[in-house]
Amino acid sequence: MGRPGINTVLSADADIKNTHNVTIPSRMQSTFQADFEAQLEGLHDAYAVALGFTAEDVDYQPNILGDILNGPEPTSESNPNPVSATVLTTVLANDVLEVAPNAPTKYFDAGSGAPEFDGAIGFTGRRLQDDVIDVSLILLFGGETGARFNGQDGFPQLVTDGVDLTADISTSFPYIGAPE
């Protein structure tokens, strides 16, 4: 479970979730991507119905990773955001953490923020203080700015779980301080 919560949110039922948990990474993408994409689109459709909107009003939007991949030029027809629901669920179906030996270890850092994301670092490992659930929620529901479902404009708060790290992190084992 390199990316906590992904399998929980994107598996349509317990059988898919349990099978995903025991599948070797080289088979995850081909086995689960289509199911994960259908679940992602289904979640957006369910929110549309619950909020009284049409499915098109609440459909998945390409996310903030596209701006990072595109660089400083804004997303446009000539510079499309490549992080469609298919691309995102293809990446997320492989539940492994990539390692970037020449980059800082960080689950995700949006850098200076939208739209430029200067200094952005994505998925180069995971530190104890990285809020992987919030990052995952932003990728699934945040849209191109990372704040689409931020509790405003009639939309629910879906880009954070509201839980912050309260433990002290140290540089020596066991790395996390005593529980509070």
pLDDT at 26: 92
Q: What is the pLDDT of residues 17-33, one digit of tens each?
A: 999 999 999 999 999 99
DSSP letters, the chain, are --STTHHHHH-SSHHHHHHHHHS-HHHHHHHHHHHHHHHHHHHHHHHHHHHT--HHHHS----HHHHHHHTTSPP-SSS-----HHHHHHHHHS------TTS---SEE-TT-TTT-TT-EESS---TT--HHHHHHHHHH-TTTT-TTBS-TT--B-S-------S-B-SSTT-B----
Token duo for residue 112: 């200076």
Q: What is the pLDDT of residues 83-107, one digit of tens each?
A: 888 888 988 898 887 777 887 788 8
User: Cβ distance 3 to 89 under 8 Å?
Assistant: no
